[in-house]
Structure 1
């Protein structure tokens, strides 16, 4: 009997030794001072605003990620990531505890399968190539982040597969269950992406389709309901919340030549089958499809090992009943103090023209900021970022 117990204990110890794993705690704190011009007040007047704000170049966050070796080249993996506001301490992403990411899955030599709240393939392949991800921050994203290339919306209830990399090529697919009894296709989201990265060249391609995006894509935060306008307050897109579907097609690339990196981004975003009825989701009663084409070029130059200078220009053209157009320029500098800490400064200016989603003369509306009282708006930010 005693020998059996010893053998069982030895077998258990061997099993524990084989199942090696690790858990990592990590995070970023991004905090700075903002100047924003022409901020519209409740009285309709425009005033300049000085404020502290958190998470502009990198969303302030902390997270846990880990893996366990299952043998045969397989690993169990997980990631839980929380976003927060440094100034108030409140949770980000609609007051969700792990609003940035929350998933578990299995990694194999042939690819990775994960389940939970995740980034879609368009974000995975194209967001890293965006100037807003590299140097201009969320205020330098395309107006209202209408194409989600700055990762404003995550995808709930999703299953994602990413292939292994073959000679620099990889691909990804995601499906989000709508969760509506008797209507498998209602509120569903599906997305595909592919990319190539080798040497100086990186390329990303992506496609996303969201059914009833006001609930399925924009409404993935605490307190959001299908009856409320979850598109936010930006006049760029707030009038299109009644769309029965949203479609995003996007591509991006960067190429490095010595100390310089040039980049280009293109996206086509369609809000389809608008209700045609005036409501909280459709202020003007728009019908049919509203389309935005957005193009952006960028240049980065590593002046010294510690100092990066960068610039970008974006043109977003709306077509349909509301034909708003937005021109936007960004300048940035990033100075690295140490392996984990840097200072940066960002300046972004936007000019709007045409008619926006609310049926009014288009107002400038830098992403994430209070819209302007006029067709122009400027934001300047000086900040410190620390990674741990």
Structure 2
């Protein structure tokens, strides 16, 4: 008879233990993508051309990651993403050797949107994702402005929400990049950054605008009494839009940049582009984008035409061939290949360059 209360208590404890997980359901997904290919660049400054397997993506950046969420009830959930970028040519880590250099954030999400904290994308990415077809690819906007190919910010607090057809978001970084502008420095606006986006997406068209502003290190540290502690400002402001004509997508983008840290002639620049994407068949897609870049107070600049054809073997595996043909104006040394401009692989001042890459992409 004395065992009855003990048995009842044990049974109650077991029921509570089994029932507890029902209040909070969680899931974690392992995902990734690998994109590798061979590129041919002509007219390098070293003389002749070069055939290589580049670290940067031909059509999408190689990565692996973990993303997950936990249902907290009442429409609220916890979300997180840990995403690592790697170079498919040699297996090394990208983003300066960071373990999770592409994304590393945690947040809360509900019907009102998502608030997240960590290393994450500037609002430039959701602002340009639907309109710049070649944005973060080997022949794209990053040829003229490498930040556009990987707009990520450390130590950031972000909000992003979508309400019917309207998307709005904002981000503030307490220290934009731990490697080039170390940490949260506590000196005015030094190394701080912010961005914002506002978009409207209808069923067959969309328009949007985004702004991204960053502050660098103060260049007058030797005279702290008179130094400008805010650092130099680098601001990008863009307008973009797209329309669907049947299955054909037409896009247009314009970006103005003001960089106080650049030489006087290069402080203000403009980049605009026009793009088109058309699925020829269910497996074959053709894409093209024309870029025009110029400085307000310099004859230097460039024009680039990017072309790509893709063949989808399945939903996960795609082969592609892509071309970037860039013409330099003035004494510019831009290369169509992202990350190559003004290096030994770029052309000499004022010379043109063309890149061709053939590759394979697999998502998992």
Per the shorter chain, which TM-score range?
0.7 to 0.9
Partner of 2:225: none
Distance 1:342-1:94 versus aligned 2 partners, 3 A rule: same
Output the CA distance in 1 between the equivalents of 2:101 and 2:216.
21
Counterpart residue number, 2:148: 149
Offset of 1:180 from its aligned partner? 4.1
2:88 paired with 1:86: yes
Q: Which has the larger radius of gyration?
A: 2
Write the deviation string for residues 61-104 of structure 1: whole angstroms up to 9, x where unpaired. Answer: 00100001000001111000000011211001111110000000
Q: Is the 8 A contact 1:259 1:303 kept in 2?
A: no
Is 2:53 aligned against 1:52?
Answer: yes
Distance 1:180 1:91, change over 3 A: closer
**1:363 is matched with which residue?**
333
CA contact (8 A) 1:272 1:288 kept: no
SS in 2 for 1:129: coil
Q: In the alignment, does 2:348 pair up with 1:373? A: yes
Deviations 1:344-383 (A, max 9, x none): 11111111112xxxxxx22232222331125200000111
Q: Matched residue of 2:42: which SS?
A: strand
Distance 1:56 1:245 in 2: 32
Once the two structures are overlaid, the 10-residue window that deviates more, 21-30 or 181-190, is 181-190
What is the DSSP-based 3-state SS (H/G/I as helix, E as strand, rest coil) of the residue aligned with 1:15? helix
Q: 2:208 aligns with which of 201, 204, 207?
A: 204
Q: Does 1:271 align with 2:276?
A: no
C-alpha separation in 1, matches of 2:148 and 2:254:
10
- 1:89-108 alignment to 2 at 5 Å? 89-108=91-110
The answer as to whether partners of 1:210 and 1:245 remain within 8 angstroms in 2 is yes
Matches of 1:201 and 1:207, distance apart in 2? 21
CA contact (8 A) 1:130 1:149 kept: no
**1:154-173 to 2 correspondence within 5 Å?**
154-163=152-161, 165-173=162-170
CA contact (8 A) 2:199 2:207 kept: yes
CA distance in structure 1 between the aligned counterparts of 2:64 and 2:192, rounded to whole angstroms: 29
Alignment pair present for 1:291 and 2:261: no
Once the two structures are superposed, the pairs formed by residues 29-68 of structure 1 within 5 Å of their partners are 29-41=34-46, 46-54=47-55, 55-68=57-70
Q: Distance in 2 between matches of 1:213 and 1:137?
A: 29
Number of residue pairs matched by the alignment: 335
User: How far off is 1:127 after superposition?
Assistant: 3.3
- Residue 241 of structure 2: aligned partner: 253
User: Deviation string for 1:265-298 (max 9, x for gaps)?
Assistant: 1101111155xxxxxxxxxxx3487111111001
What's the Cα RMSD here? 2.2
Q: Residues 288, 302 of structure 1: CA spacing in aligned structure 2 closer, same or farther, 3 A cutoff?
A: closer
CA drift of 1:51 comes to: 1.1
Supply the distance in 2 between the matched residues of 1:70 and 1:84 (Cα, whole angstroms).
Answer: 33
What CA deviation, in whole Å up to 9, does each residue of 1:130-166 have, x standing for no partner? 1214xx92222243325x333x231000000112x22
How does the TM-score come out when normalised to structure 1? 0.81
- Structure 2 distance, partners of 1:60, 1:176, is 25
Q: Gaps (5+ residues) in structure 2?
A: 176-182, 222-230
> Structure 1: which 5+ residue stretches go unaligned?
216-225, 227-242, 275-285, 355-360
Distance 1:23 1:182 in 2: 36
- Is this contact kept in 1: 2:61–2:137, CA < 8 A? no
For 1:28-54, what per-residue CA distance to the aligned partner results, in whole angstroms no more than 9, with x for missing partners?
Answer: 11011101011222xxxx221111224
Structure 2 distance, partners of 1:352, 1:213, is 31
Does the Cα contact within 8 Å between 2:124 and 2:151 map onto a contact in 1?
no
